[in-house]
A and B are shown apart, each in its own frame.
Chain A
């Protein structure tokens, strides 16, 4: 009876987090409509970096994978990123035929909410929109872990949500991955458990507003000390995001591809608990640092 209560709470938390994110993302489309080309890319880049870092983290909390036998785990991950001061502004250039052309530091999507305005010929003015004044970006995802077959387990992330009331349509995340035990080939006395694996994910928002793809491949190590299990991982992560929106100036649909980010990530974490409940926390050091809090229920 206690497990379902925790499960419902965790599901509720996950859905709440997703629903709260949706209106903010819808507002991003309005902010973006003032921009085209390089300005739009610069404005969105910090969010793209954070999103990529979050998606590519939190998909494991141990390197131990049983060789055989049916094991399952329903897991909830809250992945977060703290933005640095550097992410608050980008080098933006006036557009819309404004004269003379000027380049200034303007707020990114996570920067100050205040618009930046510059003066031009004949008393004209050009304004760069404000950001959302964010310290952090976080997302919550549910995932299912299934195993084991010859020391191999599958990880599936999925959610789909219709948030039509904020005019952006559906939010969908689909991801799958697999991990394989390396420890089964090593001496049983080897001091840590080792595993290797990969995970691929695709996130879409609206019909074509945002499409993001994330991929990570790497190795993990952990050691159990009863109810506490420190772990570490080293991975190669890639992430790309494309955004399609209606630009005010041209009245046409603009499509931008944000820089594909690839980086090596060192992840350090610790899982605590006893079956069937485990909680974990981890910190990832990469091009964009991130952290994870997780809850896992399973056997």
Chain B
């Protein structure tokens, strides 16, 4: 009686164990979100309130690096979008503060596109932004340009190269050759890349 009961029970247990991964593993597809920040440094040494400082970024190279670092390919990516932007003064040693107003523009060099506004800053204290990341007010035109660059990269139709340019319009007090406006700052744009990956995970019940 006991043997008749125990043998089927043990066979069931052994069968469960021997069935191995097919029984216990379940293939799941999950969206993983990668956060990436692209930063551009600007060095200002200005005698005038109106100045332009361009910097070029090989955006495709930066995106390639993200994919390599995370072992994913373009075909894994579901979407990539701008999340936010910020700027920060990294070097400033004047005896008095300045307030600056203007915008940071972005344009596609790879498609020879026109510059559009990405970030607007108004009466920004340089001292107040020293080593302090300031959330930037984003302009829709600039965000759309960057999102399109990301879409083109994912689709493989372009290798985006972007030019970011500081287009300053006003400084208070007004700088001069005797009172030069000197500081370094950095602007950063954050993106989310959403990629779908397939993974076998234990989900036995």
Contacts and interface: CB of A to CB of B under 8 A. Distances in A.
Nearest to A22: B202
Nearest to A121: B138
Contacts of A12: 17
Contacts of A60: none
Interface stretch (B5-13, B96-104, B168-176): B5-13
Interface string B184-197: 00000010101001
B123 interface: no
Given A30-B32, A123-B144, A135-B205, A6 B14 contact: yes
Interface string A102-125: 000000000001110100111111
Contacts of B147: 123
A245 interface: no
A108 B142 CA distance: 33
B30 A125 contact: no
B16 to A, nearest CB: 8
B82 interface: yes
B21 interface: yes
Contacts of B13: 279, 295
A30 B76 CA distance: 15
B112 to A, nearest CB: 23
A119 B158 CA distance: 25
Interface in B124-147: 133, 135, 137-140, 142-144, 147
A130 B35 contact: no
Interface of A: 6, 9-10, 12-13, 16-17, 20-21, 23-24, 27, 30-31, 33-34, 80, 82, 96-99, 113-115, 117, 120-138, 227, 248-249, 272-274, 277, 279, 295
22 contacts: A6-B14, A9-B14, A20-B202, A23-B199, A24-B201, A33-B35, A96-B84, A97-B190, A98-B84, A120-B84, A121-B137, A123-B140, A124-B83, A124-B84, A124-B138, A129-B30, A132-B30, A134-B28, A136-B204, A137-B202, A249-B35, A272-B5
Nearest to B36: A248
A132 B201 CA distance: 8
B35 A6 contact: no
B155 interface: no
B114 interface: no
A130 B204 CA distance: 20
Contact of A125 (B10, B83, B204): B83
Nearest to A274: B2
Nearest to B17: A13
Nearest to A295: B13
Interface in B84-111: 84-86
B29 interface: yes
B42 to A, nearest CB: 19
Contact of B83 (A126, A135, A272): A126
A96 B30 CA distance: 22
B177 interface: no
Given A20-B202, A113-B29, A127 B143 contact: no
A134 B201 contact: yes
B39 to A, nearest CB: 12
A177 to B, nearest CB: 25
Contacts of B139: 122
Contact of B33 (A113, A121, A128): A128
Contact of A122 (B5, B32, B138, B199): B138
Nearest to A12: B17
A211 B5 CA distance: 42
B30 A124 contact: no
A113 B194 CA distance: 12
Interface string B50-85: 000000000000000000001000000011011111
A127 B199 contact: no
Given A123-B82, A129-B31, A133-B28, A80 B204 contact: yes
Contacts of A277: 6, 10
A97 B133 CA distance: 10
